[in-house]
Amino acid sequence: MEIVHRTVDVNGLRMHLAESGTGPLVLLLHGWPETWYSWRHQISALAAAGYHVVAPDQRGYGDTDVPEAVEDYTIEHLTDDVTGLMDVLGEDKAFVIGHDWGALVSWELAKRRPERVEAVAALSIPDRFAYPLDPAVTPTAGWRAALGDAFYIVHFQQPDVADAAFAAALRQDPLGLVRRLLYSGSGDGPGWSGMVPDGGTIVDSLLEEPETLPAWVTEQDVKTYAAQFERSGFTGGLNWYRNFDRNWELSAPWRSNPVQAPALFVVGGQEAFAIPANQELITGASGSVPHLRRTVVLPGCGHWVQQERPDEVNAVLIDFLNSL
């Protein structure tokens, strides 16, 4: 089915949408560093299955506005963007599907505004990824204690450092940067450590680009992403990370709320056991997601699940949506 693009005003933010189909509303929320384009295989498939599918460029990405202030990227802004988009589309509720950071937004929205969420499907990131096990420890302090200053999320807290490295790489070789980003997170390589080398940059931490692209990504995909990153830069997306501790404070009123909506979790086999919080979802023993319908682990798949395994992910998502 045809994908239509338009720009709408959401809470004063000019937001770009990719849209297709009619029926119950399904929102597709991308992660870092992605755009609506990460859902290119799902939009038409879900629309053909009878849904009104909308994939926005979230704030700081693609053709959506890029606010300057770090404080403009809190979890309250991100979840309000989603409910504001529902309002613009004339809907009280939606099925919310998110990948990576989009998964975090989906989980948090289901806790904070349960009346707006019909169901939540999260790809790659579990519901408790954003918060440490010790409620007295801020997220970045927890990651720093466990993994050190070289861990990418801790590294991202430094103003302008990762931004400058990505900007330099975009100027020098934008296509090469995108190839390295996609390959580093995929199930086709040895896996990205997430650790910035001593004296190096976040770009230095990425795997070298492969001689041949993985079968799931084309040179046209690489060019499309490169053009989108050249337009928006990386600072907006990095500012999402710079609000982890602020989000920890802001989310206190709803953080312990269980996800009451029916839920689905999909994760690549390469990451399934790398994140401790995944285990509860994989075993079905999650007290924080009591209505988890199913967890799907895709063997050999990396982080970019909906791009690496589009047919399998589409089938799982459509089965989940139709079951509701």
**Which residue ranges make up each domain of the chain?**
4-323
- pLDDT of 53 reads 98
Residue 211 has pLDDT above 90, yes or no: yes
| 139-169 pLDDT, tens digit each | 999 999 999 999 999 999 999 999 999 999 9
- Which amino acid does the sequence have at 166? F
Domain 4-323 is found in CATH 3.40.50.720: no
Catalytic residue positions, numbered? 100, 241, 303
CA distances from 274 to 148, 215, 263, 283, 299 (A): 17, 24, 21, 15, 14
> Does 40 have pLDDT greater than 80?
yes
CA diameter of the chain: 52
**CA separation for the pair 256, 197 (Å, rounded):** 36
Q: How far apart are CA 20 and CA 44, in angstroms?
A: 7
As a whole number of Å, the end-to-end CA separation of the chain is: 23
Residue 322: predicted pLDDT? 98
* Rounded distance between C-alpha atoms, residue 28 and residue 321, angstroms: 13
Which candidate, 161, 168, 187, 26, places its Cα nearest to that of 96?
26
Other CB atoms within a 10 A radius of the CB of residue 213 amount to 17
Query: In the chain, pLDDT over 90 holds for what percent of residues?
Result: 90
Question: 107 and 122 in contact (C-beta within 8 Å)?
Answer: yes
Considering the entire predicted model, what is its pTM?
0.97
Written as six digits, the tokens of 262 are: 């029916």
